[in-house]
Structure 1
Amino acid sequence: MKKIVSIIMVLSLMVLAACSMDSGLTDDKKEKKDSMKGVKVGVSISTLNNPFFVSLKDGIEKEAEEKGMKVTVVDAQDDTAKQISGIEDLILQKVDVLLVNPTDSAAISSAVKDANDAGIPVITIDRSSDEGDIETFIASDNVAGGEMAAEYLVKELGEKAKVVELEGVSGASATRERGKGFHNIADKQLEVLTSQTAEFDRTKGLNVMENILQGNKDIQAVFAHNDEMALGAIEAIKAAGKDIIVVGFDGNDDALKAVENGELKATIAQQPALIGEEAVNAAEKILKGDKVDDTISVPLKLVTKE
């Protein structure tokens, strides 16, 4: 009987010790910071070959510098494998918080989970992650923006106008959401001749639009999921000698100039620098132990020459 009691006592002590060890790990992962000075912020950007994401990065760096944070930025160059590798490097560097602008919302999930396992809080910006624990998602309301674009085309051209849609990167949440918003209106009030991806890229926007023009003679308008594709489409339209309205999305500097000179009819303007600032502010709150909303929306506006 004494042996049985002794065994039970030993097992109990082992369980208590294990619980104590688990508790310590959990506390380490959720350690609160009183000051942001020296906090390491890891940033993974889908591509810095797009002015929108350069502005987003600049907004992050400016706000972080003011708070005394140290920022490390990795450029995925629109390559999912490269982005996952870059995030793994940031995890190994033991950053305190991770800001991720995914190239592909589904494919990035594994890297987000790895950050979760390492106890690093993750914030997604402009595009979300399909899986993994995200502290908050900061972006414009892409669905509303897509609706704004379609409503503008209905207003300018009337119902049943023949339009083309240039889609972004397949798998990106922004592509899905902007497309969803656009089709919420367009499927009822416009005639969408074709929807084709140009992967958010200006050169691909030009090439895809050239091909579309060869097979569709009565196009009245183009809605592009970002300004880069819209500007590429404009070059193809000019070369073909066509008079076609083009509406973009983002409000980058080149697009705003194109609106001003009358080449781009309109753009649904985001505020990328503000998105970056909001991401850093959210990171500060999270690291201090404060609560943040699951989604933080940054306002959009329709920009036209008028």
Structure 2
Amino acid sequence: MRIFNGLTLGAGLLAAIISAPSYAEDAPKVAAIVKGLDNPFFQTMQKGIEEQGKASGVNVSVQAAANMGDATGQADRLTAMAMQDFDCYLVNPISVSNLVQALVPVAQKKKPIVNIDSTIDAEQAKAAGFAVSTYIGTDNVAAGALAGEEMLKLVPKGGKVALIAGIVGDVGSNARIKGFKQAVEGKLEVVVMVSADWDREKALTAATDILAAHPDLAGFFAANDIMALGVERAVQTSGKDVKVIGLDGIVDALKSIAAGELSATVAQYPYVVGAMGVEACQAAVKGKQLPANVPAPVLLINKANAEASLKNFPRPGGDYPDPLRELLK
């Protein structure tokens, strides 16, 4: 304990006071709601939101779902935030519809709504009386196609592959699977697709069953890295040489690739997506016209560039197009 201006403060509290960011009275206030922080992808997204807010003098409040399946809880958190006086709302929904009703009062207050990563269904939003101000995220079809193109380099022509999808009906998962299928159509044989709900253990179980049913399988594509890591564990247990490609670019996947386990991943940059979301809110609050769609950077990561990608994480190795940054100049 120490004495400071006549008040007795704990060292931790004093450090918090000294290190807490200060904001101008007229600093924009941004409410952000993201998916479950049980997935490191969204931990990184949160970090991007918070660090961009601190760097640009934007007062950001971040809430998250309890887990990746907590659609109702995420909506409840946004409902509470919608009752507060924020200048802009940054939303990363669990499903295309779970945040629609919670956004109605936001739209009624004519506050900008910046949609990142996973889309809000435009028709449902329209029926509820609003439209998002912009969408920032990965072109998931193109990302899936990158994974498919890499798989074509790794397995023989006509080889058999299996697909591990996320939650049934998830737009992002469907788009990634679609892109992969388009890339390998007529060149590889997709023998089975199962949904593993973005879950490592479910993917492990599914892959174990698939390997038993298809002993000549050459490869797996999983719609995210968490599932890919579960699949890779099943492959290791089987002792077979089966290629596994994921999508997201989380640290554990990059380490696995560098170690010669996972074959590849298509890296998204959730840190960048989160930071760009804050930039969009800044621009919207200033009255700037936002582009309807802002693509986020992606990169194919394999053994050749995994170490460099780890070194640069959570950012891409080089510069990338950012129209929102240009709006703020």
TM-score normalized with structure 1 length: 0.84
Instruction: Check if 1:71 corresponds to 2:60.
Output: yes
**Are the aligned partners of 2:266 and 2:298 in contact in 1 as well (CA < 8 Å)?**
yes
User: Residue 115 of structure 2 aligns with which residue?
Assistant: 124
Q: How many residues align?
A: 272
User: Residue 214 of structure 2 aligns with which residue?
Assistant: 216
Give the 4+ runs in structure 1 shifted more than 4 A. none
User: In 2, distance between residues paired with 1:121 and 1:155?
Assistant: 44
Match of 1:95 among 86, 97, 101: 86
TM-superposed deviation, 1:37? 4.6
Higher mean alpha-carbon deviation, 36-45 vs 167-176, is at: 36-45
Paired residue secondary structure (2:186): helix
User: Residue 233 of structure 1 aligns with which residue?
Assistant: 231
Instruction: Check if 1:60 corresponds to 2:58.
Output: no
Match of 1:42 among 21, 31, 34: 31
Instruction: Check if 1:82 corresponds to 2:73.
Output: yes
User: Residue 302 of structure 1 aligns with which residue?
Assistant: 300
Instruction: Classify 1:123/1:170 alpha carbon distance in 2 versus 1 (closer, same or farther; 3 Å).
Output: farther
User: Residue 150 of structure 1 aligns with which residue?
Assistant: 148
Paired residue secondary structure (1:188): coil
TM-superposed deviation, 1:36? 8.7
2:176 corresponds to which letter in structure 1?
A: R
Higher mean alpha-carbon deviation, 180-189 vs 281-290, is at: 180-189
User: Residue 180 of structure 2 aligns with which residue?
Assistant: 182
User: Residue 280 of structure 2 aligns with which residue?
Assistant: 282
User: In 2, distance between residues paired with 1:161 and 1:183?
Assistant: 13
TM-superposed deviation, 1:90? 0.8
User: Residue 263 of structure 1 aligns with which residue?
Assistant: 261
TM-superposed deviation, 1:170? 2.5
User: Residue 198 of structure 1 aligns with which residue?
Assistant: 196
Higher mean alpha-carbon deviation, 74-83 vs 279-288, is at: 74-83
**Are the aligned partners of 1:210 and 1:236 in contact in 2 as well (CA < 8 Å)?**
yes
User: In 1, distance between residues paired with 2:239 and 2:119?
Assistant: 39
Paired residue secondary structure (1:184): helix
- For structure 2, list consecutive stretches of 5 or more residues without a partner in the other structure: 1-23, 126-130, 305-329
Instruction: Classify 1:36/1:265 alpha carbon distance in 2 versus 1 (closer, same or farther; 3 Å).
Output: farther
**Are the aligned partners of 2:154 and 2:243 in contact in 1 as well (CA < 8 Å)?**
no
User: Residue 252 of structure 1 aligns with which residue?
Assistant: 250
User: In 1, distance between residues paired with 2:117 and 2:260?
Assistant: 28
Paired residue secondary structure (1:84): helix
1:208 corresponds to which letter in structure 2?
A: A
**Are the aligned partners of 2:140 and 2:175 in contact in 1 as well (CA < 8 Å)?**
yes
**Are the aligned partners of 1:37 and 1:67 in contact in 2 as well (CA < 8 Å)?**
no
TM-superposed deviation, 1:140? 1.7
TM-superposed deviation, 1:187? 3.1
Instruction: Classify 1:123/1:36 alpha carbon distance in 2 versus 1 (closer, same or farther; 3 Å).
Output: farther
User: Residue 19 of structure 2 aligns with which residue?
Assistant: none
User: In 2, distance between residues paired with 1:150 and 1:274?
Assistant: 24
**Are the aligned partners of 1:36 and 1:69 in contact in 2 as well (CA < 8 Å)?**
no
User: In 2, distance between residues paired with 1:98 and 1:287?
Assistant: 11
Higher mean alpha-carbon deviation, 75-84 vs 244-253, is at: 75-84
| 1:10-21 map, 5 Å | none
Paired residue secondary structure (1:243): coil
User: Residue 139 of structure 1 aligns with which residue?
Assistant: 137
Paired residue secondary structure (2:217): coil
User: In 1, distance between residues paired with 2:247 and 2:64?
Assistant: 22
Per-residue CA deviations over 1:214-271 (Å, capped at 9, x if unaligned) read: 3222211010111110001111111222221000101111111001000010010111
Match of 1:163 among 161, 164, 171: 161
Instruction: Classify 1:202/1:279 alpha carbon distance in 2 versus 1 (closer, same or farther; 3 Å).
Output: same
User: Residue 23 of structure 1 aligns with which residue?
Assistant: none
Higher helix share: 1
